[in-house]
Amino acid sequence: MPRRVLGTLLFLMVCLKAGVLLLSADDRPEPAQQTPQNAAVDRSPPLPAGTVLPRTDRSDFAGPDVCRNCHRSEYIAWLHSSHGRSPMNRFETDPDSIAGMYRQLTGNTEQCRRCHAPPAEERAGRRQVEFGTSCESCHGAAGGESGWLNRHAVYGRGIVRREQETAEHRQQRIAFCEQAGMLRAERQYDVARNCYRCHIVTDARLIESGHPAEFDDFSLIPALLGQVRHNFHLDRRRNAVSPTLDASRRRQTPVMRARVYFIVEQLARIHVALSALAALPDTARVDSITGDEMRAILEDAAGQLEEFIEVLTSEPDASGRVLSAGQIRPLPEVLHVLTECDDATAADLTAAADRIRHLSRQFVQDHSGDRLGALDTAFLEDLDDPIGTALAP
């Protein structure tokens, strides 16, 4: 599956060249000891505890219409994607569907909402308008008194334009938003992990009802270039006030960014599968439908990671550079953690999952993608055109 993926880097290069991810890094405070090697490294503060995944309480959802005023292109793209097409409604009717089978097992379909829609909210006995998997499913619930929306686009006291915001204010604003549960694009591992919170199904009853644990043709980069495409060009007419400046602050080009996604995708799958295994009763780990599925995912993801490591440490990139094992840290350590997971207890598996998450974030901090070019040539063949479904900016 991901073999075809890196070839899409070409599309990234062509299509996103002038895009929002290429802006200058000027307004980020300079780190004390900057070297060319680490110039692109993320210097933002560590993610506060408790904000690993976005908040998902329905009462905290502001709804996509709120975002639309400032993020028109993203809104239109979302509206045309599977995520935007409010898929819950149709589940209520077909008795032979996954929903029907699941209802037989459990009595209701409320569980489907975890991924297919925000949690239901009854208002005076009536269901609220559904909006499917929305902006806030991916970026964190934004509304409410303490929600991140309150400070998301406020650049100082009084009337301060975005261009006038001080570095200090920006830092505080971003810290506030993250603490309030915003999942920002800069956190590439957590972004990928959040996709797989839904895109890997771990509930045995769901899988037994016919819901795939993982859809075969799903992978991150085609999705991010296709239906979920977001990084539109700077265009003030279309995207009135909100071209994004973040990735640029890390001096990360779209290609570098895609390489990082390519790797963290497998790290995210590993984390989800390990956590799911840890949550199973001891006997079910080796002998249950979820156990089987999760071990298959682990094996597949670890295999791919091994391949990446092999390529990065043996194949030269465009400038003839081959990386040492030390330079791709902490990927080998991830594999090492996995070797210790056979027959592990729930507590061990939980600890291993935590460790993987830690190492994965470390990877994103240490790697902007500039040195991972060997992946491009090794995985360049056999592509589809994932741009097909994307809206032109």
Binds ligand HEC (CB under 6 A): choice among 64, 330, 373, 393: 64
Q: For residue 70, state whether it binds ligand HEC (rule: CB under 6 A).
A: yes
Q: How far is CA 47 from the centre of its chain?
A: 15
Residue bearing tokens 């995708």: 265
Strand partners, 123: 126
Site track for ligand HEC across 243-262, x = CB under 6 A = -xxx----------x-----
- To ligand HEC, the closest distance from the beta carbon of 385 in angstroms equals 14
Least spacing, CB of residue 349 vs ligand HEC, in Å? 19
Q: Report whether 200 contacts 271 (CB < 8 A).
A: no
259 with 373: CB under 8 angstroms?
yes
Q: Can you spell out the DSSP letters for 96-141? A: TSHHHHHHHHHS--GGGHHHHSPPP-EETTEEPPP--S-HHHHH--
Q: Does 241 bind ligand HEC (CB under 6 A)?
A: yes
SS3 43: coil
360 binds ligand HEC (CB under 6 A): no
Check: CB of residue 273 under 8 Å from CB of residue 303.
no
331 in contact with ligand HEC (CB under 6 A): no
Q: Least CB distance from residue 58 to ligand HEC, whole Å?
A: 12
Which of 224-232, 279-287, 316-324, 377-385 is the region at the interface with ligand HEC (rule: CB under 6 A)?
Answer: 224-232
Which of these segments, 31-39, 119-127, 221-229, 271-279, binds ligand HEC (CB under 6 A)? 221-229
Residue 355 CB partners (closer than 8 Å, separation 6+): 337
**Six-digit token string for 184:** 């920002």
CB 200 within 8 A of CB 300: no
**Is residue 184 part of the contact set for ligand HEC (CB under 6 A)?**
yes
Given the rule CB under 6 A, which residues bind ligand HEC? 20, 62, 64, 66-67, 69-71, 74-75, 78, 82-83, 87, 91, 97-99, 102, 109, 111-112, 114-116, 133-139, 142, 149, 152-153, 162, 184-186, 191, 194-195, 197-199, 201, 206, 211, 215, 218, 220, 223-224, 227-228, 230-231, 241-242, 244-246, 257
